[in-house]
Amino acid sequence: MDSIELRVSVFGGRREGRIFLKGVKDPNEIDSERVNELVKEALSRGCRRVSIYVVTSDLTAGQVLEALRPVIKGHIYPSMSVWVLDEETLKSVEEEVNVYG
Amino acid sequence: MVETYDVILSTDRSLMTNHHGNEFLGFGTTMPLILPRKFIQWLFAPPMKHKKGIVWEAPYGIRRTEAALLAAGIKTAVVDPDWVGKYLEAGAKVLVLRHHDWFGLNPPTSTWTVFIDAEPLNVVLFREFMENVMKLRDRLDFKLVVAGPAVWQWLHLSNKVDEYRVDAIVDSNGDREDWAVVKVVQRLLNGLPVPKYIKIGITDSVPIDKIVPIRHASVNGLVEIGLGCPRGCSFCSVGGRPLRWYPLDFIEEEIKVNVREGQKSGILSATDILLYGSSTIYPNAEAVLKVNRLAKKYWECVGWSHITIAAALTNKKLIRDLHDLLVDCEKQKFIGVEIGVESGSVKIMKKHMAAKPAPFPVERWPEVVEEGFALLHENEIIPASTLVVGLPGEEEDDVIATTELVKRLRPYRSLIVPMFFVPMGPSRLGRETWFRKLRPYHVDLLMACLEHDVYWAKNLLENYLGGLKMAPVKKAIGWFVGLVEKSMPRIRESLMNLVEKAMEAEKGGAGTPSAPQVSEVPITQTHH
């Protein structure tokens, strides 16, 4: 994996934590504990929505969801989304994408 | 030829059925195929009436999503599972599926599979349905969205996300996710990328005024009157969601939709019908009577999805008034409802559901249950009650206390269904594992429940399951109950043998056979 990073963005007055995992080539590179820490940090910084972007050309969606299961099932309060996409597609979702209703 | 829709909604036959108009028979779809499949399917999941594949009734959750999509201007229809191919061939671009037990990991399906090595009907029906969808996926271009309260199951069988080529999973997380489905569908229709998984958090719980009424009839006329629950039990997927009630005019509109499309009876649905209009754990008697009076104005029989024993006991007069209002002895002989008894152990109650007995002290829970059952019995309210077996921290004494409580409930007309603990996604115990460590004292509890249920099932069949149309169903269930009654000693012996084998395997370090420790997924899933 090339990098893992948390960014806090403000969309329509609402803080959203965005976690980027870039260049993931192997499911074992996804450290769910580290992602969990970042989710907690986002929550502590006032985010009630957390979006996780896994940028990969090598992993299937199933592999990503399996690796992130402890994160997704571990938090009941924030709204959460998991994106599995390549670099090109990531550019198209850089602005706010509100999928939470 | 059929009409072209942008989006079609569907599910497999275990849910796209009205169970012969008897909601409780729906439990039967979770049964393993120990009897001929044709018989079980006819008994519990008969086909749905439809017109060119557009179903007459549909599960309420599907109707909610349909209403939200239609309100957003998206041409949508709810389609019978056998007709999905025709509508996709006619040009539907998105198929949205909803289910409450995709892979049989929820109770009671997962409870059966601990001791019966056969696939449950609902698991088989979903797998066959998806095999058909996959064949269509090979030759047609459409997107697949799965949604609802149990989509967390896909996280445990994530290989199925790839195998079934799922485009998006929308998790209601114990609430309503319809508006998220609308946003996902809009993006898919516009060729935009969507997240693989979306979960609606508590701070995004949908406000009641944003929900739109259903447009067509729901299965058995079920109408939701509220969302959320104030009690916060650790194992429950709804716990922690804010309590919200639909206004009477909204409820009336949904009842009218059902009546207009032919539903003569219906079910009011909420986590606790007795708390309608209340923001606390005390019933607002006037509001509860109003909503029931409204339902009775339109329906011959009014059923309830759930109540709590504690709320019933806080206002006994309300229970008597509800009986007098609904049970008219001509069309309606009783009120059916589901109730969570969960445990007879004060220790377990304190640890996992301390607020469930409130306002009564948790130390008095077993007596509260007994007193509550007596009140319901007197007022012809018949509970199908559930127990949760194997909650974290449960010990032998806790199970024995529950068994004793079940035995004390024998005089009261009811059914008691034990369910093994499942770490459901949105619950506080979502990170735990499935209960699988059966012991002899668990067998005692299971047998106490079975004895209770056989005793009362005969009475219920005789006195409450009526109508000429139901005669063959009544006969079939009567035969099945008789078979279980005759087989009781053999069932106990088989269960004991299974427990002994499991315990030996554990001693040998192999773990309980039905609990693969790597996948944490119950045995049913190893079959396919």
One-character DSSP codes across B11-34: --TTTSS-GGG-GGGGGGGGSBS-
Average confidence (pLDDT) over B197-210: 89
Model confidence over B17-51: pLDDT tens digits?
999 998 888 999 999 999 999 999 999 999 999 99
Residue where the block lists tokens 């996948």: B519
CB–CB contacts below 8 A, A to B:
113
Could you give the CA distance from residue A61 to residue B159 in angstroms, rounded to a whole number? Answer: 9
Cis omega (within 30 of 0) for bond into B392: no
Position B523 pLDDT exceeds 70: no
B162 touches chain A (CB under 8 A): yes
Average pLDDT value for residue range B383-400? 97
* Whether the Cβ atoms of residue A5 and residue A20 lie closer than 8 Å to each other: yes
Using 50, 70 and 90 to split pLDDT, how confident is the model at B237?
Answer: confident
**pLDDT higher than threshold 50 for residue B525:** no
Confidence (pTM) = 0.93
Residue A79 has a pLDDT of 93
Residues 6+ apart with CB under 8 A from B319: B312, B375, B376, B379, B381
pLDDT of residue B1: 87
pLDDT score at A24: 96
Which pLDDT value is given to residue B468? 65
ipTM over 0.95: yes
Contact A100 B166 (CB under 8 A): no
- Percentage with pLDDT > 90 across chain B: 78
Cβ separation B198–A65 shorter than 8 A: no
When the pLDDT of each residue in chain B is averaged and rounded to a whole number, the result is: 92
Q: Is the pLDDT of residue B209 over 50?
A: yes
Average confidence (pLDDT) over A49-66: 97
Quote the pLDDT of residue B510.
55
Q: Would the CB atoms of A65 and B427 count as touching at under 8 Å? A: no
**Contact between chains at A65 and B192 (C-beta distance less than 8 A):** no
CA A31 – CA A4 distance, rounded (Å)? 10
Cα of A71 to nearest chain B Cα, Å: 10
Phi and psi dihedrals of B416, rounded to 5?
A: -125, 120
- Is the minimum CB–CB distance between B238 and chain A shorter than 8 Å? no
CA distances from B435 to B191, B510, B517 (A): 43, 16, 11
> Confidence class of residue A76 from pLDDT cuts 50, 70 and 90?
confident
Task: List strand residue ranges (DSSP E) for A12-101, in order.
Answer: 14-22, 49-55, 79-85
Enter the DSSP assignment of B417.
E
Q: What angle do CA B391, B394, B396 make, to 5 degrees?
A: 140
Give the one of A62, A89, A92 whose C-beta lies nearest to B158's C-beta: A62
pLDDT grade, residue B174 (50/70/90)? confident
Shortest Cα distance from B304 to chain A (angstroms)? 28
Residue B206 has what pLDDT? 86
B297: closest CA among B332, B252, B249, B254? B252
B359 has a pLDDT exceeding 80: yes
pLDDT exceeds 80 at position A96: no
Task: Grade residue B518 by pLDDT with cuts at 50, 70 and 90.
Answer: very low
pLDDT above 70 covers what percent of chain B? 95
Q: How do B222-224 and A14-22 pair as beta strands?
A: unpaired
- What is the tens place of the pLDDT at every residue in B434-462? 888 889 999 999 999 999 999 999 888 88
Please check whether residue B192 touches A, CB under 8 A. yes
Q: Which of B143, B144, B161, B208 is the best substitution to test chain A (most A C-beta atoms within 10 A)?
A: B161
Q: For the residues B470-479, what does the mean pLDDT come to?
A: 88
Which residues from chain A sit within 8 angstroms of residue B174, using beta carbons?
A: 76
The token pair that represents B311 in the structure block: 């709320």
Nearest residue to B229 (alpha-carbon basis) of B213, B247, B214, B244: B244
A20 neighbors A40 (Cβ within 8 angstroms): no
C-alpha B183/C-alpha B202 separation (Å) is: 18
**Residue B20, amino acid:** H
